[in-house]
Amino acid sequence: MISINTSKRSEEAEIMDDFELKGEELEQTLSDLEKINKWLGGNKITLEGIQVLLKDTPEQTTIRIADVGCGSGAVLREIANWGRNQNFNLELIGIDANPYAVEIAQRRSNYYPEIKFEALNIFSETYKEQKYDIVLCTLTLHHFKNEEILELLNTFMHQSKKGVVINDLQRSKTAYILFQAFCKVFINNEIARKDGLTSILRGFKKNDLENLAKEIPSQKHSIKWKWAFRYRWILKK
């Protein structure tokens, strides 16, 4: 059995980091990732974070929310369904660096006029000029190196009126082994399997997030472990 080292974050690239990935291969991978998130309750974690930041916000308020690294847009569709029941006027913006993923997300969100998508590099000045009430980052932060993460978090905090919700993976040997077993039964997509395992090794331990928080000014934050091997990290202004 291969030794699994989780002492520090892996810097191995993921196949999905290639923004030229497109066509049937991308479509199938996004569908499988959507299924994995749904089965393991991942989107609910992000939605709970939004509810924390919107506590005591009056009904009918217009709330502008960005989802960075939106992929197929599944998280935003779930938020849109919730928002309709809560009587909030939601403006939801999905942002992804892969223009082909943005095309798929738009197609899958045809019945959601409150959701729009943009193909943007989040390190660009065009992105940094955008303003939101809340910035979401679901299973995206682990794609970056620590120094890039610090830059991004400071950008997100500067952009947002209320705060930031991070939903990302715990780096853990147990999570790695269980995900291998899960894929054997449920997932036969090679990209989803390989990237899922790499993602876990690029994920975080709680002290990684706490150390990053020390470098971000003007915020209160809370980190909570959630099933399945996730951290929900809320940075509140």
What is the DSSP track for the chain? ------SS---PPPGGG-TT--HHHHHHHHHHHHHHHHHTTHHHHHHHHHHHHTTTPPTT-EEEEEEET-TTSHHHHHHHHHHHHHT-EEEEEEEES-HHHHHHHHHHTTT-TTEEEEE--TTSHHHHT--EEEEEEES-GGGS-HHHHHHHHHHHHHHEEEEEEEEEEB--HHHHHHHHHHHHHH---HHHHHHHHHHHHTSB-HHHHHHHHTTS-S-EEEEEEETTTEEEEEEE-
147-175 average pLDDT score: 96
Q: Is residue 33 part of a domain?
A: yes
Note if the pTM is more than 0.85.
yes
Residue 57 one-letter amino acid: T
User: Strand 62-68 and strand 115-119: pairing?
Assistant: unpaired
- Which residue in 36, 43, 113 sits closest to 75, CA to CA? 43
Q: Is residue 151 part of a domain?
A: yes
Give the domain CATH number at 115.
3.40.50.150
pLDDT at 32 exceeding the cut of 90:
no
86-91 average pLDDT score: 91
Does residue 97 have a cis bond before it (omega within 30 degrees)?
Answer: no
Residue 41 is predicted with a pLDDT of 67
Residue 20 is predicted with a pLDDT of 63
Q: Is residue 141 part of a domain?
A: yes
Q: Is residue 9 part of a domain?
A: no
Residue 139 is predicted with a pLDDT of 92
pLDDT at 61 exceeding the cut of 60:
yes
Least confident of 106-115, 157-166, 191-200: 191-200
Q: Is residue 54 part of a domain?
A: yes
Least confident of 19-28, 84-93, 152-161, 194-203: 19-28
Q: Is residue 11 part of a domain?
A: no
* Domain residue limits at 63: 19-236
Q: Is residue 7 part of a domain?
A: no
Q: Is residue 131 part of a domain?
A: yes
Beta bridge partners of 67: 94, 136
Q: How many domains are there within the chain? A: 1
* Position with higher pLDDT, 131 vs 193: 131
Residue 1 is predicted with a pLDDT of 43
